[in-house]
Chains A and B, each alone.
Chain A
Amino acid sequence: MTKIKTLADLRKMKEEAQSKIKLRENSANPDQVVQVKVGMATCGIASGAKETMKYFVEELEQEAIDAVVTQTGCMGYCYAEPTVEVKLPGKEPVVYGHVKKEKAREIIDSYIKRGELVDGIIPVSFKTIDD
């Protein structure tokens, strides 16, 4: 990694990073990747998030679905761990709670493959600083 030397460089870098993410998120190209984020804080891991994450990585790869599976921190829904956010290309992200293997299977089969929502959605119940 190269050092960021000035504030201007940092700002440029932010824009690059943002546009990279935007490109990924907002493209109308239906071939775009599916993004899966697994809540991997202590609360998630204690409830089996590692297994859930591994399952998504392996299954999506095996089924040759173009997807990026990443980890993220606690989403705050500790009562519903493991929690997983799935973002299909061109759609709003959807958070699912209690995602163990079975639920993950259902999410892959119904939501990721066919776009059908699955029971157990956690509605976003907060505002962000940008709202």
Chain B
Amino acid sequence: MTDYKMHLLICGGTGCKASESDEIKNRLNQLIHDLGLEDEVQVVLTGCFGFCEKGPIVKVLPDNTFYVQVSPNDVVEIVEEHIVKGRPVKRLLYTDPTNDKQISDSKGMDFYKKQIRIALKNCGFINPENIDEYIARDGYQALGKCLSELTPEEVIKEVKDSGLRGRGGGGFPTGLKWEITKNVENDQKYVVCNADEGDPGAFMDRSILEGDPHSVLEAMAICGYCIGADKGLVYIRAEYPLAIQRLKIAIKQAEEYGLIGDDILGTGFNFHIELRYGAGAFVCGEETALIHSMEGLRGEPTFKPPFPSVSGYMGKPTNVNNVETFANIPVILNKGAEWFSKIGTEKSKGTKVFALAGKINNVGLIEVPMGTTLREVIYDIGGGIKDGKEFKAVQTGGPSGGCLTKEDLDIPIDYDNLLASGSMMGSGGMIVMDENDCMVSIAKFYLDFTLEESCGKCTPCRVGNKRLYELLDKITQGKGEEQDIEKLKDLSVVIKDTALCGLGQTSPNPVLSTINNFEHEYHAHVHDGKCPAGQCKSLLRYDIVEDLCTGCTLCFRNCPVGAISGERRAPHFIDQTLCIKCGVCYEKCKFNAITLT
């Protein structure tokens, strides 16, 4: 076994790679080889450290020295000073901006880790199919404590004090919801877990159920204890087979241990949990639609009030919470409301899980304290924009949300700030867009989604969204007319004002938000017949520059529709009426003779 005395970890994240981490690695290896140290020192490339603003990063083990903004020119100094002489290179250490002190041991600089895992605390740590591993990490302790030592009122107070708000998008205070359901008198009540995650690009609920199903079951039982329900239902989409399988195993194991079932931990409290499958309709994430679907009816919303807390599943008081909301509960009760409420902003406590997707390097699941800025999420955790492109916007809140732009990068993310910026928290999908994304097309994409997912019950959503989509489509086809942008705005406002449920009331948000932030792009489509991002095919035009064309016929031979003509060794031409803007000629031309405008 080779026993290296020292490891040099070099950040190979995309951001750092762009600033020459490969070159740093090569030079380090060369130098180590030259000095004959290859049996003692190993250089290893790693993934992103999540500190991209100070990259490239080099971390030295075992002493945990953390070098920032290392350039290839620093390599010699690191090797000669640190490796050979054992003296850290001070000028490359990170300086704490608050006190100007240099920090050498990265153990003391966790602050660069922007993420705190609460809802995801067990995801990726435990075997989700083994209840013992959950129990080893405090599993079911909160339930035991609640049942044995606290009254329902005390538990509800703790949840209220924590400041936890619904993570499904609405942000309603969880403790208050529990209290309301508790105060409705009825001999039968239900706890429902909303696992009907449907935002395009969002998958945090699935991950929690797949990675830590017991945390949700435990929280549901706690909720049942608080509101006086002995039955819990998980409404989960059938497209989540793995999550369903893990939930089933978890329920079985918890039942075998008596942590779910009758007379839990000898306290006389009974709580049973069953699964209900959804067919994957986005609107079934809306709680009244969800309940109808569970009852075997068409998954469409009904007017509130009555709220499910008063009349829900089978007409009984029903407390509906989302998966991530539940996953926070055991931690809050184990660590205390005070601990939890110290994390986050004034009105949004704790953390939020986001699914980072789109044109971002580190696509994945992250969990950050409320109040983290978009910049930190995108650049420090997400590793920046793919291929070094420029950031344009990020869509939060899925098809109900809006886009945030460069101007919004430093806004602390919480429920209220996102709303104020014209978007919303939603369930936590974050889709990052770069300079090549056309904002009209983005709005059209989301409208296409809501159109498909609308239940069709109310006129504004069923017909209004279709008309919005048609207007957007017309604009991307280059057929937009002067009044169309105003029409989009007017219709959007009426749809928001009149639609029945949250889906319809928010469906025009992507349209309004892209118009608010990128109206010039709409105008470019309508007035100039141009798509600034170069995405709308109908607005593209390929031309052959006569002077540069050699008449090689490559484009002519590759054009799939025969739109190119010309004699061999003479300039070729594109017949614009035939061209389908596929771009093959543009790619094939070896002489840069084809222009795209």
Contact = CB atoms under 8 A, between A and B. Distances in A.
Interface of A: 1, 3-7, 9-11, 13-14, 17-18, 20-21, 37, 39-43, 45, 70-80, 83, 85, 97, 113-129, 131
27 contacts: A1-B257, A3-B257, A7-B147, A10-B144, A14-B135, A14-B138, A20-B136, A42-B206, A42-B210, A42-B242, A43-B203, A71-B129, A72-B127, A75-B124, A76-B124, A77-B362, A78-B365, A79-B363, A119-B46, A121-B9, A121-B45, A123-B50, A126-B115, A126-B116, A126-B367, A127-B110, A129-B331
Nearest to B213: A73
The CB with the most chain A CB atoms within 10 A, among B7, B110, B210, is that of B210
A129 to B, nearest CB: 6
B389 interface: no
B48 interface: yes
B505 interface: no
The CB with the most chain A CB atoms within 10 A, among B1, B47, B145, B365, is that of B47
Nearest to B115: A126
Nearest to B3: A115
Contacts of B48: 122-123, 125
B381 A125 contact: yes
B456 interface: no
A72 B3 contact: no
Interface stretch (B92-100, B258-266, B318-326, B575-583): B258-266
A97 to B, nearest CB: 5
A120 B46 contact: yes
B118 interface: yes
A108 B203 CA distance: 31
Contact of A123 (B49, B129, B207): B49
A125 B127 CA distance: 21
B125 A72 contact: yes
Interface string B424-443: 00000000000000000000
Contact of A127 (B117, B130, B381): B117
B42 interface: yes
Which 7 residue pairs are nearest across A and B when measured between Cβ atoms?
Answer: A73-B211, A125-B50, A75-B124, A3-B258, A126-B115, A17-B136, A122-B47
Chain B: number of interface residues, binned into ranges:
35 or more
A71 B140 CA distance: 21
A115 to B, nearest CB: 5
A116 B4 contact: yes
B314 to A, nearest CB: 30
B126 interface: yes
B212 interface: yes
A18 B207 CA distance: 24
Interface string B121-149: 11111111110110110111100110111
B117 A126 contact: yes
B361 interface: yes
Contacts of B128: 71-73
Contacts of A113: 1
B544 to A, nearest CB: 40
Interface string B88-109: 0000000000000000000000
A108 to B, nearest CB: 13
Given A126-B116, A127-B115, A120 B265 contact: no
B253 interface: yes
Contacts of B242: 41-42, 45
Given A5-B266, A14-B138, 9 more contacts: A14-B141, A21-B136, A42-B242, A74-B365, A78-B363, A116-B2, A126-B113, A127-B115, A129-B118
Contacts of A14: 135-136, 138-139, 141
B44 interface: yes
The CB with the most chain B CB atoms within 10 A, among A39, A83, A121, is that of A121
A7 B144 contact: yes
Contacts of B127: 37, 70-72
Given A115-B2, A125-B49, A73 B362 contact: no
